[in-house]
Amino acid sequence: MTSDRMNFLKELLARQFEVQKFAEAKNAALLAANLASLTIYLSILFADHVYSVFRVYAATSLFFFAVSIAFCVHSFLPKSRPNEVSADDNDGNGSLLFYEDLSGLSISKFSSILNESGSWSEGLSGLEKDYVEQIIINARITRRKMTLFKFGMYAFVLGFFSPIVGALFLLWNTISDHRFKNGASF
Q: Would you tell me how many other CB atoms lie within 10 Å of the CB of residue 7?
A: 10
Q: In percent, how much of the chain has pLDDT > 90?
A: 2
Backbone angles phi, psi at 118, to 5 degrees: 100, -40
Question: What confidence tier does 144 reach under pLDDT thresholds 50, 70, 90?
Answer: confident
Burial of 132 (0-12, 13-18, 19+ CB in 10 A): buried
Q: How far is CA 8 from CA 25, 58, 87, 154, in A?
A: 26, 51, 19, 36
User: Does the pLDDT value for residue 67 go beyond 70?
Assistant: yes
Question: What confidence tier does 80 reach under pLDDT thresholds 50, 70, 90?
Answer: very low
User: Does the pLDDT value for residue 55 go beyond 70?
Assistant: yes
pLDDT in tens, 116-127: 766 666 777 778
Q: Which of 39-53, 65-79, 112-126 ranks highest by mean pLDDT?
A: 39-53
Question: What confidence tier does 89 reach under pLDDT thresholds 50, 70, 90?
Answer: very low
- Its sign, for the CA torsion 144, 147, 152, 153, is positive
Find the farthest-apart pair of alpha carbons in the chain and give their distance in angstroms, rounded.
Answer: 86
pLDDT of residue 36: 92
User: Does the pLDDT value for residue 166 go beyond 50?
Assistant: yes
User: How far is Cα 166 from Cα 60, in angstroms, rounded to an integer?
Assistant: 9
> What's the average model confidence in pLDDT over 168-186?
65
Answer whether 160's CB lies under 8 Å from 37's CB: yes
Count of helices and strands (H, E) across the chain: 6, 0
The better pLDDT of the pair 87, 134 is held by 134
Burial of 3 (0-12, 13-18, 19+ CB in 10 A): exposed
Q: Would you tell me how many other CB atoms lie within 10 Å of the CB of residue 34?
A: 26
> What's the average model confidence in pLDDT over 39-66?
84
